[in-house]
């Protein structure tokens, strides 16, 4: 297909996976290092579609320009879509995404954060390389017998459950749309958030960022948690009020935090800024805690996931230009490919 795709926030690994998969599609893909923003949207003139990632700004102004430039479809190469103004896009330009590329990748990364924070292997690595074989300060706890609270039992949350059960943990879950048949089959219990906060030793966030979930981890919810709780966020940065998290860490209410996402990550994550100063004081403070482990939104980053992302993205764009059914079109509220069918917005 000789359609042109403007590809934003392109990293070497994106190019590699998309170039490989594109051999079977034949799109003309032009890779831009820059994020999509109101400043960079001008380059989209003459393109049929754009391909964007989590930190590209698909706001009202940008959407207006895309439509003006004749861009026909916005293809997200990620599952989350909180960076898109769907109200502005509705009826003007469809938005497709990659709903699942490897839920295992993210669930396994959540586990990597949990185990590293618990057993402090990231610290042990540096110690032993430096000839320091002391283990003082590396004390962990048995995962076995502890309680994990999973917020959001969608694809990723469900991949996490058997791993945690494999450790011998009790698993509590909260989801406004509980899958009770599933819960019974794997022997986990849905509870209200208050009970999950009160009983969990480890809390892991796997819900989307919405107006309801924004800052759900805040002063009030932290107060309800167990002393020494471990919080893992591989969902979206804004699920956590970072200032409240820092207060919780300072007061020792929170025992540790593993963050693959951060509320203001867009200026930092995915970039090598090692010779720059960090001007975000909140991020800088977070990085000083010995019991905080930050990774740079790498939960999705496995070879399998990259391949699936490229394949589904190019399938999505192909479907659109073949005038087919857009199976991965995102609808703002009900998150189903419903825009075409309803002919009216559901929000």
What part of residues 306-325 is at the interface with ligand NAI (CB under 6 A)?
A: none
Residues 66 and 94: their CA atoms lie apart, in Å, by 11
Residue nearest to ligand NAI (CB): 154
Least distance to ligand NAI from the beta carbon of 169, Å?
Answer: 19
Binding ligand NAI (rule: CB under 6 A), the pick from 41, 62, 79, 286 is: 79
Determine whether 271 is an active site residue.
Answer: no
Rounded to an integer, what distance in angstroms lies between the CA atom of residue 343 and that of residue 113? 43
Phi/psi class of residue 120: alpha, beta or left (left: φ > 0; alpha: ψ in -120 to 50)? left
* Rounded Cα–Cα distance for residues 262 and 297 (Å): 8
Active-site residue (options: 236, 263, 304, 307): 236
109 an active-site residue? no
3-state secondary structure of 162: helix
Cα–Cα nearest to 43, from 92, 90, 4, 99: 4
The tally of CA atoms less than 13 A away on the side-chain side of residue 98 is 24
Distances (CA, A) of 109 to 163, 238, 276, 297: 12, 19, 27, 10
Q: Is 265 tagged catalytic? A: yes
What lies within 8 Å, CB to CB, of 224 at 6+ separation is: 194, 197, 198
Q: Contacting ligand NAI (CB under 6 A), which of 83, 213, 221, 256?
A: 213
Kindly state the smallest distance separating residue 173's Cβ from ligand NAI, in Å: 9
Question: Whats the size of the chain, residue-wise?
Answer: 347
Query: The tokens 């579609």 sit on which residue?
Result: 49
Which part of the chain contacts ligand NAI (CB under 6 A), choosing from 5-13, 206-214, 267-275, 318-326? 206-214
The residue within the footprint of ligand NAI, chosen from 235, 237, 255, 258 (CB under 6 A), is: 235
> Alpha carbon of 46 to those of 5, 36, 41: distances in Å?
9, 16, 12
Binding ligand NAI (rule: CB under 6 A), the pick from 3, 97, 120, 297 is: 297
| Residue 253 makes contact with ligand NAI by CB under 6 A | no
Element (H, E) at 52: strand 49-52
Scanning 99-107, 160-168, 182-190, 246-254 for contacts with ligand NAI by CB under 6 A, the matching segment is: 99-107
Query: Contact region for ligand NAI (CB under 6 A) — 17-25, 116-124, 147-155, 264-272?
Result: 147-155
> Whose Cβ is closer to ligand NAI: residue 112's or residue 261's?
261
Q: Candidates 10, 148, 149, 152: give the one binding ligand NAI (CB under 6 A).
A: 152
CB of 178 to ligand NAI, least distance (A): 8
Interaction between residue 238 and ligand NAI (CB under 6 A): no
Report if residue 337 touches ligand NAI, rule: CB under 6 A.
Answer: no
Which residues face 149 on adjacent strands? Answer: 172, 203
**Cα separation, 77 vs 345, whole angstroms:** 23
Residue with tokens 């698993």: 171
Measured in Å, how far apart are the chain's first and last C-alpha atoms?
A: 34
Closer residue to ligand NAI, CB minimum distance, 21 or 54: 54
Out of 44, 55, 153, 266, the only residue in the binding site for ligand NAI (CB under 6 A) is 153
Nearer to ligand NAI, 41 or 330 (CB): 330
Gap between the Cα atoms of 217 and 77, Å rounded: 27
Q: Which stretch, 5-13, 24-32, 173-181, 242-250, contacts ligand NAI (CB under 6 A)?
A: 173-181
Residues that bind ligand NAI (CB under 6 A): 79-80, 100, 103, 106, 151-157, 174-177, 206-209, 212-213, 234-236, 260-261, 297, 299-300
Residues tagged active-site: 236, 265, 297
């Amino acid at each position: 297909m000789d359609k042109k795709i403007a590809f934003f926030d392109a990293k070497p690994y994106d190019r590699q996976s998309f170039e490989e998969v594109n051999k079977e599609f034949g799109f003309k893909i032009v890779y831009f290092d820059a994020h999509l923003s109101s400043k960079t949207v001008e380059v989209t003139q003459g393109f049929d579609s754009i391909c964007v990632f989590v930190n590209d700004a698909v706001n009202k102004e940008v959407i207006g320009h895309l439509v003006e430039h004749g861009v026909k479809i916005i293809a997200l190469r990620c599952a989350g879509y909180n960076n898109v103004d769907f109200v502005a896009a509705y009826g003007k330009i469809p938005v497709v995404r990659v709903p699942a590329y490897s839920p295992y990748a993210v669930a396994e990364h959540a586990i990597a954060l949990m185990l590293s924070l618990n057993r402090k292997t990231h610290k042990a690595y540096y110690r032993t390389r430096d000839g320091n074989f002391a283990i003082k300060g590396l004390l962990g706890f048995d995962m076995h017998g502890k309680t994990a609270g999973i917020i959001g039992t969608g694809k990723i949350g469900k991949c996490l459950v058997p791993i945690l059960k494999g450790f011998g943990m009790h698993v509590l879950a909260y989801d406004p749309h509980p899958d009770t048949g599933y819960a019974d089959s794997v022997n986990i219990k849905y509870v209200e958030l208050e009970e999950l906060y009160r009983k969990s030793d480890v809390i892991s966030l796997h819900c989307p960022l919405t107006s309801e979930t924004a800052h759900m981890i805040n002063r009030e919810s932290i107060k309800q948690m167990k002393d020494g709780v471990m919080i893992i966020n591989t969902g979206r940065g804004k699920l956590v009020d970072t200032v409240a998290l820092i207060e919780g860490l300072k007061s020792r209410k929170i025992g540790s935090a593993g963050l693959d996402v951060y509320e203001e990550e867009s200026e930092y994550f995915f970039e090598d800024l090692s010779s720059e100063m960090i001007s975000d004081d909140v991020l800088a403070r977070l990085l000083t805690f010995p019991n905080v482990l930050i990774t740079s939104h790498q939960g999705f980053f496995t070879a399998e996931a990259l391949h699936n992302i490229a394949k589904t993205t190019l399938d999505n764009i192909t479907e659109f230009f073949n005038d087919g059914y857009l199976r991965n079109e995102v609808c703002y509220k009900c998150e189903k490919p419903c825009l075409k069918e309803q002919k009216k917005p559901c929000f």
